[in-house]
Amino acid sequence: MTEARHAIETVFRIERVRLIGSLARLVRDLDQAEELAQDALVAALAEWPERGIPERPGAWLLATARRRAIDGFRRRRMLARRHAEIGWDLRLAGEAGPEGIEAALDDDLGDERLGLIFAACHPLLPPEARVALTLRLIGGLTVDEIARAFLATEAAIAQRIVRAKRLLGRAGIRYEVPRGAEREERLPSVLEVIYLIFNESYAASAGEDLIRPALCAEARRLGRILSGLLPDEPEVCGLLALMELQASRLAARTAPDGAPVPLTEQNRARWDRLLIRRGLAALERAEALGGADGPYALQAALAACHARAARAEETDWRRIAALYDRLRESMPSPVVELNRAIAHSMAFGPEAGLALLEGIERTPALRAYAPLRAAKGDFLFRAGRLAEARIWFDEAADLSRNAREKAFLRKRAADCCG
């Protein structure tokens, strides 16, 4: 019985996102869609151990959940209005069996998961709400898991999710894939959410740990789902390439005691070659689709420069500097300017980096940004100006909210004293 339950729960996890996506399109309410999906799981746990898992378990779960939804419509005397809204005859679809039910609601883009992703990442939601809702609905993470990943309380995360669902409900959002120009307008919001999740896992902004591998893996999984659903979108391929290439270095980014290891000092034998191959393939596809100058594809090209260098000394910093020159055009931001200064310091010497920093270090957005002070400390250190470097490393450590990063910066400051 335990093995049967485990098998059923595994099937449900596989089918869950598509199931909720389809039900959300039917009932236009995320809470109700999740409840109906859970009802279908309960029914499966009751029936499948005796009858065996159906040949098409997803269709069985979908049919069961939709029958319950239809019963609810009838009880509330809303079936006629729902027919008009949804645009299909529930009775005829039900008589056609599971295959008919699935076919009746499949749109021409073919996957309910995509509609759910676009809804969860709707730009009318605040970024933190989009992240929480995406991890809950698409990733299947519990509220507790999301809270632990972002060092927040369960109550705060639960509140974000509830508010997001209510906002989508009040706005009358359709849980469908937007078409044409609307899809183009909303895709950046979807990519932004996945990238935010990845960034927080790859370089944690706060807490004791520098990286959070489980959350990093979840971001990449979301990227692969999106890439599978939209294989001809160059920026989707570019984002997937960026995440795969960056994640390939995870094992080498920290020392045994958890301290960060700079990119130039990492043991490249520990880099994941499979992820590098996947990332380079995704980048090649993005470029073949005409997306070489897209922000994510350019960042992936930067990561590829490191991935292709067998030793740190072989890194093509001049190409990296040139790529940053292009990136600042397609994605202008103070952080890009800072990274461009770092690249130029590596390609043309620390004085070149210091010259570029002069133009951006007074930017309000970077005033309390620890990486800027750390970068300036590094430039000064490499230029032999150790007393000045120590001041900047200490200031960077004071601003950092990540314990591992703070300790690393204190050590760099101490190194300036010989």
Answer yes or no: is pLDDT of 203 > 60.
no
| pLDDT tens per residue, range 356-373 | 999 898 888 888 889 999
SS percent in the chain: helix, strand, coil, step 5: 75, 0, 25
| pLDDT tens per residue, range 154-174 | 999 999 999 999 998 888 887
Q: Quickly state the pLDDT bin for 417 (edges 50, 70, 90).
A: confident
Task: For domain 327-418, give the CATH number.
Answer: 1.25.40.10
- Tokens (6 digits) for 83: 């027919």
Q: What is the per-residue DSSP string for 76-145?
A: TT-HHHHHHHHTS-HHHHHHTHHHHHHHHH--TT--HHHHHHHHHT-TTS-HHHHHHHHHHHTS---HHH
- Is residue 372 within 8 A of residue 378, CB to CB? The reply is no
- Is residue 216 within 8 A of residue 202, CB to CB? The reply is yes
pLDDT, residue 25, reads 75
- Tokens (6 digits) for 251: 């094992």
Domain assignments of the chain as residue spans, ordered by start: 2-105, 111-215, 231-315, 327-418
Mean pLDDT, the chain, integer: 83
- Tokens (6 digits) for 410: 């204190």
- Is residue 410 within 8 A of residue 377, CB to CB? The reply is no
Answer yes or no: is pLDDT of 83 > 70.
no
pLDDT, residue 259, reads 80
CA 19 from centre of chain: 21
Stronger pLDDT, 39 or 102, i.e. the higher one: 39
Q: Quickly state the pLDDT bin for 109 (edges 50, 70, 90).
A: very low
User: Among 54-58, 244-248, 325-329, 389-393, whose mean pLDDT is lowest?
Assistant: 54-58
What's the length of the chain?
418
Residue with tokens 């190194």: 415
- Give mean pLDDT, residues 127-137: 87
Percent of the chain with pLDDT over 70: 86
CA 153 from centre of chain: 21
- Which secondary-structure segment (H or E) carries 382? helix 370-382
- Is residue 336 within 8 A of residue 324, CB to CB? The reply is yes
- Tokens (6 digits) for 293: 């100058």
- Give mean pLDDT, residues 200-215: 58
Rounded to an integer, what distance in angstroms lies between the CA atom of residue 260 and that of residue 266? 10
Rounded to an integer, what distance in angstroms lies between the CA atom of residue 386 and that of residue 382? 8
Q: Quickly state the pLDDT bin for 110 (edges 50, 70, 90).
A: very low
User: Among 12-26, 219-233, 268-282, whose mean pLDDT is lowest?
Assistant: 12-26
Rounded to an integer, what distance in angstroms lies between the CA atom of residue 396 and that of residue 392? 6
Rounded to an integer, what distance in angstroms lies between the CA atom of residue 198 and that of residue 246? 10
Rounded to an integer, what distance in angstroms lies between the CA atom of residue 399 and that of residue 406? 8
